[in-house]
Structure 1
Amino acid sequence: MRGVPPTASSRRLLALCAVVLLAVSCRWGGPDDTGGERPPGAPTGVTAQAGSATSVHVMWNRVAPAGSEVTGYEVYRGDTRVKEVPAATHMVDVSRLRPATTYVFTVRARDADGRLGPPSREVRATTPAAARADTRPPTAPGDLEGRAAGSRAAQLSWSAARDDRGVVSYDLYQGRTKIHSVGGNQTAAVVTGLRPGTRYSFTVRARDAADNLSPPGRVVRLTTADGADGGATATAPADFRATARSSGGAYYIVLSWVPPRVDGTVTEYEVRLDGRPVTSLVYGGEAPRDRATYRFYAGEKAGVTHRVRIRPLLPDGTWGAFSAERTVTTGTAG
């Protein structure tokens, strides 16, 4: 029996179905030639800070595996790959740069199959001008203090070092290993990714534009708390506020807070309503570092009271502490 020739409308329908199937396959990342797993995602929370006139400190957040395990990261200056580091490392110092020059950096994750994920967003850093004939290092940072912030974080603070040309950055050391760098205008930091019930020692050194490194300040020793509480108040969002608002016959809960000051950038938060996770807030672009705001749907009924709080996903992949809990009632100003 001969088939009935397709009509023009049926041909259009078949073509549309083919387009839809292709779009769904592309969106959800069907099986590929390397075993059916997707490559890693783009690193978030990427920052770049000049460390001297010839170096820049680049940091990023851990990338969760999309399929196979993430085994390393590649750091690019423009289109040039300048560093490769293992998966446990989330920071590098890019050296041999030119003074008074702006550079663009991106980071890509690599998985166990050798596949590279997409590049992160671009970040820029400008090296300061070089100081002529500067061989004098800054003084050691003074009055270093530290305390455990729960089981996985430590809060450090120090007094500013002195330098005849100005301090450009401070390097933080855990034992003899450099673990972080902050700008010369900062005298505090929160170190995350520590192990519960573990004793640590930290020091801080100052660096000037000529790359002269100060002697270390005094050693501060501390022991993290036992358990897995994800950190104390140092890793919690600060000044957390919640109000109820109405729009178009529906009610919304409006949140605002100050992100915790941790090593790296917080790009994700979990929102809990009445003791249960209700939504996740993920920043795909530039995450706020000052006050952040967010609102979500709370129904159409007035007079309903809710309890709400949030917690951050820290750059090292662990959860930070919860914010204070707030109570709001729909149909009121809050």
Structure 2
Amino acid sequence: MPVRRVPPRTLLPQAVWAAALAAALTGCGPFSGDDAEAGGPALTAPAGVTAQAGSATSVHVMWNRPASTTDVTGYEVYRGSVRVKELTAEQHMVDVTGLRARTRYEFTVRARGKDGSLGPASRRVSVRTPAAVAADRSAPGRPEGLRGHVDGARAVTLTWRKAADDKGVVSYDVYQGTTKIHSVDGTRTRALLTGLRPGTDYRFSVRARDAADNVSPASDAVPLTTARGKDEGPGTAPGDFRAATRRADGAYYIDLRWTPPETGGEVPAYQVYLDGEQATTVMWGESAPRDGSAYSFYIGKEAGTRHRVKLRAQLPDGTWGAFSPERTVTTGR
């Protein structure tokens, strides 16, 4: 899906854009949430929903607890319009099994409130299961060389060496203690874990999984302690951020280019700030670029005007990462 090109000077105020973004992120699923009890506090859609093929017949779905004025008592996971899992409020991830190999699936998640009502569906996420491998009873080798570093108060980055497998690794599962908390594609050997608590001790390990659902022994565990404070972590910021102006059809435009932060998955959205205020949100669907991104927008017809621009990425847990460096551009130069 190509980037959306929206003239910032014609955009609505920031509060309205925030509401529009919420509608865009929650209105992509098969439900609208209108069946919530009329007049009661509204549940919000679970944020940061991701889906990762765990094997040829399973998909790992993850999400964040939504901010809401109503207590969440559980979640429902949907494959298309079919409910496939019901979970408690403490569960924010699940393995959906019994799927077909080499098949594309779409998943959404809804929260359930104390009164039994369902909130709106999360954004729809798409994933394709890999081909099945016949008669594979050999588990992948243990991932070696696990390293980690703290990235601010709420994130850590893990890296490891590629695990060996006779048929190929489909995914890597990240564990906090004995609990699986994250999965990344088998072509990746890096994961950014966000939404952690400041000043907290953690212990992480990694396991490799193949298409037949064989799981490797756990890697050596790495202990990490997040920093104190509220720092988002510089590793969550877009890299190599550049901004330039150009003239076309009698008007000026600002062209932005950057590389996505290494989150271990796709970055579905970015917030663009112009002169200190949020101007727009750039969103991709399943075709979010992994290597480099670009965005261009109309800025006006007057030469010699100076503008400051920066952006930040939406992280896998639905929160927003650190800002890129701020760039200054002047029209007509």
Which TM-score band (shorter chain)?
0.7 to 0.9
C-alpha distance in 1 between matches for 2:134 and 2:80: 26
Deviation at 1:287, TM superposition (A): 6.1
Equivalent residues of 1:140, 1:161 under 8 A apart: yes
Equivalent residues of 1:61, 1:264 under 8 A apart: no
| Structure 2: stretches of 5+ with no match in the other structure | 1-32
Say if 1:281 and 1:137 are closer, same or farther in 2 by CA, change over 3 A: same
Matching residue of 1:279: 279
1:145-176 per-position Cα deviation (integer Å, ceiling 9, x unaligned): 10001111111110111122222211101111
Say if 1:123 and 1:35 are closer, same or farther in 2 by CA, change over 3 A: same
State whether structure 2 residue 212 is matched by structure 1 residue 210: yes
Matching residue of 1:231: 233
Matching residue of 1:288: 288
**Other structure's SS at 2:216 match:** coil
Deviation at 1:86, TM superposition (A): 4.5
1:85-117 per-position Cα deviation (integer Å, ceiling 9, x unaligned): 35565432112334x341423213234241242
Say if 1:263 and 1:74 are closer, same or farther in 2 by CA, change over 3 A: farther
Q: Tell me which of 86, 94, 97 is aligned to 1:95.
A: 97
1:45-69 per-position Cα deviation (integer Å, ceiling 9, x unaligned): 654332123311223566554x746
Matching residue of 1:83: 85
Say if 1:86 and 1:239 are closer, same or farther in 2 by CA, change over 3 A: farther
Matching residue of 1:173: 175
Structure scoring higher RCO (CA < 8 A, sep ≥ 6) equals 2
2:38 partner letter? T
Matching residue of 2:307: 306
Equivalent residues of 2:50, 2:316 under 8 A apart: no
C-alpha distance in 2 between matches for 1:308 and 1:255: 9
| Structure 1: stretches of 5+ with no match in the other structure | 1-28
Q: Tell me which of 51, 54, 57 is aligned to 1:51.
A: 54
Q: TM-score, normalised by structure 1?
A: 0.78
Give aligned-pair identity as a percent.
Answer: 55
Say if 1:148 and 1:281 are closer, same or farther in 2 by CA, change over 3 A: same
Q: Give the greater-gyration-radius structure (CA).
A: 1
State whether structure 2 residue 264 is matched by structure 1 residue 260: no
Matching residue of 2:252: 251
Equivalent residues of 1:75, 1:105 under 8 A apart: no
1:206 partner letter? A
Matching residue of 1:269: 270
Equivalent residues of 1:46, 1:265 under 8 A apart: no
C-alpha distance in 2 between matches for 1:40 and 1:59: 16
What is the total number of aligned residue pairs between the two structures? Answer: 298
Matching residue of 1:328: 329
C-alpha distance in 1 between matches for 2:64 and 2:294: 21
Larger mean Cα displacement after TM superposition, 106-115 or 144-153: 106-115
Q: TM-score, normalised by structure 2?
A: 0.78
Superposed counterparts of 1:67-216, under 5 Å = 68=70, 72-86=74-88, 89-98=91-100, 100-112=101-113, 113=115, 114-118=117-121, 120-121=123-124, 123-132=126-135, 134-216=136-218
1:214 partner letter? S
Q: CA RMSD in A?
A: 2.9
Superposed counterparts of 1:30-49, under 5 Å = 34-35=38-39, 40-41=44-45, 46-49=49-52
C-alpha distance in 2 between matches for 1:296 and 1:68: 39
Say if 1:301 and 1:89 are closer, same or farther in 2 by CA, change over 3 A: farther
Deviation at 1:308, TM superposition (A): 1.8
Equivalent residues of 1:244, 1:251 under 8 A apart: yes
